[in-house]
Structure 1
Amino acid sequence: MKTAIILFNLGGPDGPGAVKPFLFNLFSDPAIIGLPQPLRWLVAKLIAGRRAPVARTIYDHMGGRSPILPNTEDQARALEAALGPEFKCFIAMRYWRPRARDQVAAVKAWQPDRILLLPLYPQFSTTTTGSSVREWQREARRAGLDAPTTTLCCYPANEGFVEAVVDGVRAGLARMDRARPRVLFSAHGLPKKIVSAGDPYQGQVEQSVAAVLARLALPDLDWVICYQSRVGPLEWIGPSTEAEVIRAGADGVPLLVVPIAFVSDHSETLVELDIEYRELARQKGVPDYVRAPTVGATPSFIAGLVDEVRRAMASGRPIVSGEGPRLCPGDRVGCPCGETR
């Protein structure tokens, strides 16, 4: 049975000229800025214009482009090799090429018997997986792509994902001296109002960290969950990664920073964590600063995705979570698994 797997990710500019339109696509998404049109269009245009020069400087550190597409392609090829010839991966980026519309056409031409929507976001948010799924569904309807489709909404405690993170933590700890470090589990932040409205992301980040800590089995570990990449005037969930770096300097403790919600490298890891926060740590007197790797296309992470694919394909349900019908408390109304209860 031919199965098309759609790998969702954020996307990133593939050159300096793509930075401004990428930002416009990002900020014109109603899941990001919930204003009605045409006001949202105008605000997105304004923000993209203002942020483009700073963003180009960020991408200059990475050769003028984001590495997220080639990194995702590596994951796609590894997943195909693990699953076998009846499975084919298609990459659908939310805010830059390849977009859902192009990939819907490619999937339709391949004529699969079934489709699995697989986000490369282990933790569900309405702003990431939710937005990508809605765009895919819209484009699939427009193109008349009607193959039976299952959505894997989240897998925050997937064994392969957790094992890959734990391996990264252990490798990072091995690079540090005998001083007792503090581990920062850093995730992309969200405005508080989105979480308060029922988005399950923060709770699922906490599930991921709890699973990692259980597998590490280091009872005296000094650790904290924090959130990075804040933009705009709204209040965001915290504590912020920046504030935790400053606190570590005041406490005189070394830091191991662990990306817990990013599965491949891009600007948030290669620039924000590796350059900006590293320099902040130096300025604030943090005695050592080490960043653990993302899970990438490591065998354990790919094996975890294989498990999720096979579980989802056997479920017979349109929306599947990593651990059954619903991972989130009932007040997390943004959790899509509630639609299938």
Structure 2
Amino acid sequence: MNLTTEPAKSERQTASPVTKPEKIGVLLVNLGTPDGTAFAPMWRYLREFLSDRRVIEKSRITWYPILYGIILNTRPSKSGANYEKIWNRERNESPLLTLTRSQGDKLAEALSDLPNVVVDWAMRYGNPSTESVARRLVDQGCTRLLMLPLYPQYSATTTATANDKLFEALMKMRFMPALRSAPAYYDEPVYIEALARSIENHLATLDFEPEVVIASYHGIPKSYAEKGDPYPSQCFETTRLLRERLGWDEKKLITSFQSLFGREEWVKPYTDKTVERLAHEGVKSIAIVNPGFAADCIETLEEIAQEVAGIFLDAGGKNFSHIPCLNDSAEGMAVIENLVRRELSGWVQSPETA
């Protein structure tokens, strides 16, 4: 009679590493995406995103009537229509999902010399959820876990909430792996070099020379920065380092902030107002790059490449180009691999030193 029993898995149980070879998990995390463009999946996605206390710091008593009474009744249709403009119809998913998957696959291939490292990817909002992927890594025998939030500049609204979600997931596990979270990389030489090369390569394909190149970053409310969020200063520093690497002056490469939400004042200058002003001043040719995004998404492909482009052209501009994010390009993957290998230091040995 066999008295050995297999422990049942539950919400708070995860396979023990005792029965499986020890591995190290690498988890790439990006912001998130809806499962579809229809009202219901957009509603679910926006509810999760806009219910995050890191994103909206207003009192729930004040915020929830606005969220559930107004925003979630109107915004899903509008946002869904915008996603429709960029949707990957072949895979029936958003470009961000397609690109993040590819980044994970390419990183796994790049780290194939580290046989005990398992690479996976997740979203802070939507699917695949951070919790489900973290649990999958632990179930595969990962006793150590490195998370790389795919946000070059730190903000409580992005990096911190990604960490929060992973910590919440680990709180539900009986066995909790050792954890590292990679820091922001806004000033890393490999990142600045990758951005510079991507800009140079893209501009070489154009039949015009931009008079001004705008580094447009996702904005945050001004009050968040005043409370100590370092995000705006890190954005300006990225632009400064990029300007220095490209050999451009302060008129050639400028900083702006996009994706404003609500009536509160956000950090300035605003991207839409900036391109409109440039056009009114007689500037005919511009390009926009998005150094704060590791992969193209709704904010870059629809908001910048379509909406902001239209604002510039309607205001009198003639030539506009959107410079793609680093995405899963060779330059972009060099950044991710470099950061991951550095943060794995002490946990793994390279074949040359093993």
TM-score w.r.t. structure 2 length? 0.84
Number of residue pairs the alignment of both structures matches: 316
- 2:308 is the counterpart of 1:285: no
Measure the CA separation in 1 of the matches of 2:199 and 2:206.
Answer: 11
Aligned to 1:53: 77
CA, structure 1 residues 101+74, in 2 after alignment: closer, same or farther (shift >3 Å)?
same
Question: 1:209 — aligned with what?
Answer: 239
* Residue in structure 2 matched with residue 111 of structure 1 by the alignment: 141
Q: Quick check: 1:104–1:145 contact (8 Å CA) kept in 2?
A: no
Q: Secondary structure at the match of 1:113?
A: strand
Provide Cα deviations, 1:120-175, integer angstroms capped at 9, x if missing partner: 10111100010010111011111234111111121112233222211222133324
Compare 86-95 and 224-233 and name the one that shifted more.
86-95
Q: 2:210·2:287 contact (CA, 8 Å) conserved in 1? A: no
* Equivalent in 116, 125, 131 of residue 155 of structure 2: 125
Aligned partner (choices 294, 309, 334) of residue 303 of structure 1: 334
Confirm or deny: 8 A CA contact 1:172 1:291 kept in the other structure.
no
Matched residues in 1 for 2:277 and 2:145: separation? 47
CA distance in 2, matches of 1:103, 1:277: 35
- Return 5+ residue gaps in structure 2 as ranges: 1-21, 348-354
Which shows bigger deviation, 161-170 or 180-189?
161-170
2:104 aligned with 1:73: no
Q: 1:139 to 1:249 in 2, by over 3 A?
A: same
CA contact (8 A) 1:114 1:147 kept: yes
Mark the runs of 5 or more structure 1 residues left unpaired by the alignment. 317-341
Mean Cα displacement is larger for which, 306-315 or 199-208?
A: 306-315
Q: Secondary structure at the match of 2:263?
A: coil
Deviation at 1:220, TM superposition (A): 7.5
- How far off is 1:177 after superposition? 4.9
Q: 3-state SS of the aligned residue for 1:61? A: helix
Q: 2:229 matched to 1:194?
A: no
Cα distance in 2 for partners of 1:247, 1:28 equals 35
SS of equivalent to 1:237: coil
Distance, in Å, in 2 between the alignment partners of 1:260 and 1:12 is 19
Over the matched positions of the two proteins, sequence identity in percent amounts to: 27
Mapped to 2, the partners of 1:179 and 1:67 lie a distance apart of 28
Which moves more between the two structures, 136-145 or 82-91?
82-91
After superposition, what is the alpha-carbon deviation per residue over 1:21-65, rounded to whole angstroms, capped at 9, x for unaligned? 100001100011224556654443232222111101101102375
Tell me whether 1:138 sits opposite 2:168 in the alignment.
yes
Q: In structure 2, what residue type is equivalent to 1:192?
A: K
Question: Is the contact made by 1:160 and 1:305 (CA closer than 8 Å) also made in structure 2?
Answer: no
CA contact (8 A) 1:189 1:237 kept: yes
2:94–2:297 contact (8 Å) kept in structure 1: yes
Deviations 1:2-25 (A, max 9, x none): 221111111111212311110000
> Does the 8 Å CA contact 1:27/1:48 hold for their aligned counterparts?
no
Structure label with greater radius of gyration: 2
- Tell me if structure 1 keeps the 8 A contact 2:243–2:250: no
Q: Is the 8 A contact 1:8 1:129 kept in 2?
A: no
Kept in 2: contact 1:192–1:235 (CA 8 A): yes
Contact 1:176–1:288 under 8 Å retained in 2:
no
The 3 A distance-change label for structure 1 pair 180 and 80 is: closer
Cα RMSD after superposing both structures = 2.0
> What does residue 2 of structure 1 align with?
23
Does 58-67 or 192-201 show the bigger shift?
A: 58-67
Match of 2:11 in 1: none
State the SS of the aligned residue for 2:187.
Answer: coil
Distance 1:145 1:209 in 2: 42
